[in-house]
Amino acid sequence: MDAALLIEDVRLTPILIADPPLLNTQGVHQPYTPRLVVEVVTRGGVTGVGETYGDGTYLELAEPLARVLPGRPVSDVNGLFALAEEVCGAARGADERVDAGGLRGAQTADKLRLSVVSGFEVACLDALGKTLGLPVHALLGGKVRDRVEYSAYLFYRWAAHPAAGERDDWGAALDPAGVVAQARRFARDHGFTSFKLKGGVFPPDEEIAAVRALAEAFPGQPLRLDPNGAWSVETSLRVAEELKGVLEYLEDPASGTEAMARVSAGTDLPLATNMCVTTLAELPEAFARDAVQIVLSDHHYWGGLHRTRELAATCRAFGVGLSMHSNTHLGVSLAAMTHVAATVPDLGHACDSHYPWQTEDVLTTRHTFEDGHLTVSEAPGLGVELDRDRLAALHRRWLDDDGTLRSRDDAAAMRQADPGWVAPAVPRW
Ligand SMILES: [Mg+2]
């Protein structure tokens, strides 16, 4: 092993980034959301960067993993998984639910650990690529496309957070006209031609009306609706009937594989998920029952870029489509998403990304969408560079926080406006 590839140091920097008041079925985004920036420094003096969730439960696992990595090669990403099981695995049972799950599906200790490992895996691949002079996509077998398409991620939203926070110039979007105006701005500024609306916020008929308004404004263009499992099977089937021929796919209309399988049996409208298939263990039943036709991969959930490619191969074997899910993230993760998406042959739909909503980044240069696409970088590693002043400022915000924003809680944010709010049980409608 080339000594230059050995890890000398690992730096973890938890940060808080501004997040607009985007609504979902659980509540609303807080003014700031936590992310974790992982840096791996090699003996050769190269620094690789990765990004993942920054909530307290993730930090708890990232810290022991960071301590045991020095002395190991950045090329040993398979070894990373075994090591993570060793140092993070004992604390909790693999299937133990570590939080209510909510928008990310059932949250287990395994899934939590994989989400942590993903940040380290990406940092190792960035460092390896920089050392070898190769882009990350080359380390994954090489790109099969030069550009990756993304969709506009539309949200019902307020003009401003009830509590203090950054205020942007988007204004409120709480009805079909507001949603269409938001979509027009996304199309104008980034060239997106696919549109996804985060639903589960208003009664289904209001969301059907918003999708119909989008279809009228953007005839023939791909549209999706994602109520995060907020509907009953009956409601899901009614919406599917009303929006067949209008939607490209319906995303997680109902909660859980059982309910999704029943919806799927009653409609020809394709169903997508980032909630009922989020781990290998969930996959056999969902595929055997034809509960979903499209899996929305997320390299954070699945444990990184190599594991995302394994998921893609499994989906291909079962004739299940693949696209990409997004949670609030910065440009490091967007670069990682773009590299892995560039290597997956049958990516049949535009990927989701929250990135345009993020006014802050830790990079020296922001990513720019052209015609709704990102060009796959040919620079060594991920092809991004950390802006250390920005990183330090966002870390300072995390340090200054009294702890209330260090773990994302959309229901708590909603209580700022509606003190009696509790995240609704599903099905909500
Ligand atoms: Mg979703």
> Tell me: the pLDDT tens digits for 164-213?
777 899 999 999 999 999 999 999 999 999 999 999 999 999 999 999 99
Residue 422 lies in a domain: no
Residue 35's pLDDT band (boundaries 50, 70, 90)?
A: very high
pLDDT beyond 90 at 104: no
Task: Residue 355: give its domain's CATH number.
Answer: 3.20.20.120
Annotated active-site positions, please? 198, 325
Q: What is the pLDDT of residue 164?
A: 76
CA of residue 103 to ligand 1 center, whole Å: 7
244 and 219 in a common domain: yes
Tell whether 242 is covered by a domain: yes
Do residues 219 and 237 share a domain? yes
User: pLDDT by residue (tens digit) across 316-337?
Assistant: 999 999 999 999 999 999 999 9
Tell me: the pLDDT tens digits for 374-392? 999 999 999 999 999 999 9
277 and 393 share a domain?
no
Encoded tokens for 73: 């090669």
In terms of domains, do 353 and 204 share one? yes
Q: How confident is the model at residue 106 (pLDDT cuts 50, 70, 90)?
A: confident
Instruction: With a cut of 90, say whether residue 88 has pLDDT above it.
Output: no
**What is the distance in A from the centroid of ligand 1 to the CA of 213?**
21
The verdict on pTM exceeding 0.85 is: yes
Q: Which class for 422: exposed (0-12), middle (13-18), buried (19 or more C-beta within 10 A)? A: exposed
Domain count, the chain: 2
pLDDT at 38: 98
Query: Is the model's pLDDT at 102 over the cut of 80?
Result: no
What does pLDDT average to over the chain? 95
Per-residue confidence (pLDDT) for residue 101, from 0 to 100: 47
Q: What is the pLDDT of residue 108?
A: 82
Average pLDDT over residues 144-166: 94
Instruction: Indicate whether 175 and 286 sit together in one domain.
Output: yes
CA of 277 to the centre of ligand 1 (A): 11
Domain contains 129: yes
Residue 425 lies in a domain: no
State the Cα–Cα distance between residues 188 and 191, nearest whole angstrom. Answer: 6
Say whether both 160 and 39 belong to one domain. Answer: no
What number is the average pLDDT over the span 65-90?
93
Residue 414 domain flag: no
Residue 420 has pLDDT above 60, yes or no: yes
In this structure, is residue 8 part of a structural domain?
Answer: yes
Residue 321 lies in domain:
143-375
> Mapped to the 3 state alphabet, what secondary structure does the chain carry?
CCHHHEEEEEEEEEEEEECCCEEECCEECCCEEEEEEEEEEECCCCEEEEEEECCHHHHHHHHHHHHHCCCCECCCHHHHHHHHHHHHCCCCCCCCEEECCHHHCCEEHHHHHHHHHHHHHHHHHHHHHHHHCCEHHHHCCCCCCCEEEECEEEECECCCCCCCCCCCCCCCECCHHHHHHHHHHHHHHHCCCCEEEECCCCCHHHHHHHHHHHHHHCCCCCEEEECCCECCHHHHHHHHHHHCCCCCEEECCECCHHHHHHHHHCCCCCEEECCCCCCHHHHHHHHHCCCCCEEEECHHHHCCHHHHHHHHHHHHHHCCEEEECCCCCCHHHHHHHHHHHHHCCCECCCECCCHHHCCCCCECCCCCCECCEEECCCCCECCCCECHHHHHHHHHHHHHCCCCCCCCCHHHHHHCCCCCCCCCCCCCC
CATH number of the domain bearing residue 85:
3.30.390.10
User: pLDDT by residue (tens digit) across 257-307?
Assistant: 999 999 999 999 999 999 999 999 999 999 999 999 999 999 999 999 999
- Confidence (pLDDT) at 96: 56
Residue 146 Cα, ligand 1 centroid: separation in angstroms? 26
* Residue 256 domain flag: yes
Distance 227 CA to ligand 1 centre (A): 8
Q: Are residues 128 and 191 in the same domain?
A: no
pLDDT at 90 over 90: no
213 shares its domain with 349: yes
Q: Are residues 104 and 244 in the same domain?
A: no
pLDDT (0 to 100) of residue 93: 54
Do 100 and 181 belong together in one domain?
A: no
Q: Are residues 52 and 123 in the same domain?
A: yes
Q: Which residue has the higher pLDDT, 104 or 342?
A: 342
